Amino acid sequence: MSLRYHTNLPQAEQTAAGIAHAAPLAYGDRVHHDELDTLEHVNNVRYFVWFERLRIRFMEAHNIGTIGDPDSPRIVIRGGEARYLKEMLRDEDYIVTTRCTGFRNTSLTLEQQIWAHGTLRATFTCIMVLLTPDGSARHPIPDNIKAELIRTDGAIQHS
C-alpha cells in the first residue's frame, strides 16, 4: 500500500495500514532527516510537533478555533501524557491520528497516536481548554460542536 501524505485518510486506508481502531482524523507523512537525533532516531520533540499539527487541523475541522483569528477562542493544553512505545527511524512512513474521547463545558480530551508499519509507536492524551479570545475566562464549547464530537468521534459528555 502506498501511503498518501498530508490528507485525511479514510477508515479503509487506516485499517490497511494496520491501525487497530481507525480515527476520524488521520494524516500520513514520512520521517525526514532533520527530525533525527544523533542516535538516528526521531527526536522526542518531533512527536509533539506531529501531534500539534493534527490538533490544529482537528480544531479547525470542528470550527473550535482558528489560528490568527482574533475572535477565535484561545486553546491551551491544561495537561497531557506522552508515551513512547517504539522508536521511529529515518524514511519511515507514519500516520498520526486524533480523536476526541470526551468533553466538559469548556474543555475536551484528545487521544492522539502515531502508527508506523502497523505498530503503535507513541501516544499523547491531553486536555484542551478553551478560553475567551483575550484569555481572561473560559469559553464554552457550543452545543452544535458537542453534538458533532459525539457523532464523529464517539466523544462522551462528562459533567
Full pLDDT tens readout for the chain, 159 residues: 689 999 999 999 999 999 989 999 999 999 999 999 999 999 999 999 999 999 999 999 999 988 888 889 999 999 999 999 999 999 999 999 999 999 999 999 999 999 999 999 999 999 999 999 999 999 999 999 999 999 999 999 998
Q: Which of 150, 61, 67, 145 is nearest to 106 (CA)?
A: 145
Q: Which of 84, 115, 106, 101 is nearest to 24 (CA)?
A: 101
User: Per DSSP, what are the bridge partners of residue 8?
Assistant: 27
User: Per DSSP, what are the bridge partners of residue 138?
Assistant: 131
Taking residue 24's Cβ as centre, other Cβ atoms within 10 Å add up to 19
Q: Are 9 and 93 in contact (CB under 8 A)?
A: no
* Per-residue pLDDT at 117: 95
Q: Are strands 119-131 and 74-84 parallel, antiparallel or unpaired?
A: antiparallel
Q: Are 13 and 4 in contact (CB under 8 A)?
A: yes
* Per-residue pLDDT at 69: 86
Q: Which cell numbers hold the place of 32?
A: 525526514
CA–CA dist 49, 152 (Å, integer)? 24
pTM, two decimal places: 0.94
CA–CA dist 73, 96 (Å, integer)? 25
CA–CA dist 108, 113 (Å, integer)? 17
* Per-residue pLDDT at 66: 81
* Per-residue pLDDT at 31: 97
| Domain spans of the chain, in order of start | 11-157
Thinking of the domain 11-157, which architecture would CATH place it in? Roll (3.10)
